Chain A
Amino acid sequence: MSEARNLFALLRQSADPGTVSAIEELVHDAPDRALCRVNVLDFAAKRGLDGERAIAAFLHAARLGIFELSWNVLCPSCAGVLDASATLKSVNREQYHCAWCAAGYEPVLDEIVEVTFTVNRRVRRIAAHNPEELPFPEYFRQIFWSSAIDLPEDLDQLIQEITLDTVELPPGDKALLSLQLPAELVIVLDPVTHTTQFLEVKGEPTRERQTLSLIFDKVRTSTETIELRPGPLRLSLENHTDFRVLPGLWIAGGPLEQLLHRRRPFLTAKRLLTNQVFRDIYGADTIDVDQRLKITSLTFLFTDLRGSTELYERVGDLAAFDLVRAHFQVLNEIVAAEAGAVVKTSGDAVMATFPTPDRAVAAALRMREAMRNLKDARGGDGLMLKIGIHEGPCLAVVLDNRQDYFGRTVNIAARVQGLADTRSILATRSVVTHPTASSLLETSGLTPLAHHRALRGVADEMAVYEIP
Chain B
Amino acid sequence: MSEAKNLFAVLRQSADPAAAAAIEELVRDAPDRALSRINVLDFAARSGIDEERAIAAFLHASRLGLFELSWNVLCPGCGGVLDTSATLRSVNKEEYDCTLCAAGYRPTLDEMVEVTFTVSRRVRRIAAHDPHDLSFAEYFRQIFWGSGIDVPDDFEQLVEEIVLDSIELPPGEKALLSLQLPAEFIIVMDPVTHGTQFLDVKGEPTRERQNFSLVFDRLRAPTGTMTLRPGPLRLSLENRTDARVLPGLWIAGDRLHELLGGRRPFLTAKRLLTNQVFRDLYGADTIDVEQRLKITSLTFLFTDLKGSTELYERVGDLAAFDLVREHFKVLNEIVAAEAGAVVKTIGDAVMATFPTPDRAVAAALRMREAMRRLNDGRSRDDLLLKIGIHEGPCLAVVLNNRQDYFGTTVNIAARVQGLADSRTILATGPVVSHPQASTVLQTNGLKPVSQHRALRGITDEVAIYEIP
> Which residues of A does B touch, CB under 8 Å?
283, 292, 307-310, 312-313, 317-318, 320-321, 324-325, 328, 342, 344-347, 351, 393-395, 397, 399-401, 404, 406-408, 410-412, 414-415, 455-459
Tell me, in angstroms, the Cα distance from A428 to B399 when the chains sit together: 29
Evaluate contact between A411 and B312: CB separation under 8 angstroms: yes
Evaluate contact between B321 and A395: CB separation under 8 angstroms: yes
A317-B345 contact given A309-B411, A407-B317, CB 8 Å threshold: no
Return 14 A-B CB contacts under 8 Å, by A number: A308-B457, A309-B455, A312-B411, A313-B408, A313-B457, A318-B292, A325-B399, A328-B400, A344-B344, A351-B346, A395-B317, A407-B312, A410-B347, A456-B309
Evaluate contact between A458 and B321: CB separation under 8 angstroms: no
Evaluate contact between A312 and B342: CB separation under 8 angstroms: no
Q: Which residues of A contact B38 (CB under 8 A)?
A: none
Q: Which residue in chain A gives the minimum CB-CB distance to B404? A: A345
Evaluate contact between A406 and B328: CB separation under 8 angstroms: no
Evaluate contact between A406 and B414: CB separation under 8 angstroms: no
Tell me, in angstroms, the Cα distance from A12 to B336 when the chains sit together: 45
* Nearest chain B CB to A458 CB, angstrom units: 6
Q: Which residue in chain B gives the minimum CB-CB distance to A398? A: B325
* Nearest chain B CB to A279 CB, angstrom units: 10
Q: Which residues of B contact A401 (CB under 8 A)?
A: 283
A313-B292 contact given A346-B346, A415-B309, A459-B313, CB 8 Å threshold: no
Leading 8 A-B pairs by shortest Cβ distance: A457-B309, A309-B457, A407-B317, A317-B407, A400-B345, A345-B400, A312-B408, A346-B346
* Nearest chain B CB to A147 CB, angstrom units: 29
The answer to the question of B389 belonging to the interface, with a C-beta cut-off of 8 Å to chain A, is no
Evaluate contact between A406 and B309: CB separation under 8 angstroms: no
Q: Which residues of B contact A321 (CB under 8 A)?
A: 292, 395, 397, 406-407
**B328-359 contact mask (Cβ, 8 Å, vs A): 1 or 0:** 10000000000000101111000100000000
Q: Which residues of B contact A395 (CB under 8 A)?
A: 317-318, 321
Q: Which residues of A contact B411 (CB under 8 A)?
A: 308-309, 312, 347
Evaluate contact between A397 and B395: CB separation under 8 angstroms: no
Q: Which residues of A contact B345 (CB under 8 A)?
A: 399-400, 404
Q: Which residues of A contact B412 (CB under 8 A)?
A: 309
Evaluate contact between B414 and A347: CB separation under 8 angstroms: yes
Q: Which residue in chain B gives the minimum CB-CB distance to A415? A: B309
Chain B interface, number of residues (Cβ within 8 angstroms): 41
The answer to the question of B456 belonging to the interface, with a C-beta cut-off of 8 Å to chain A, is yes
Q: Which residue in chain A gives the minimum CB-CB distance to B401? A: A283
Evaluate contact between B317 and A458: CB separation under 8 angstroms: no
Evaluate contact between A310 and B312: CB separation under 8 angstroms: no
Q: Which residues of B contact A407 (CB under 8 A)?
A: 312, 317, 320-321
* Nearest chain A CB to B373 CB, angstrom units: 22
**B43-57 contact mask (Cβ, 8 Å, vs A): 1 or 0:** 000000000000000
Q: Which residues of A contact B414 (CB under 8 A)?
A: 347
Tell me, in angstroms, the Cα distance from A351 to B345 when the chains sit together: 12
Q: Which residues of A contact B456 (CB under 8 A)?
A: 309
Most interface-central of B317, B328, B351, B397 (chain A CB within 10 A): B317
Q: Which residues of B contact A307 (CB under 8 A)?
A: 457
Evaluate contact between A408 and B309: CB separation under 8 angstroms: yes
Evaluate contact between A292 and B318: CB separation under 8 angstroms: yes
Evaluate contact between B394 and A400: CB separation under 8 angstroms: no
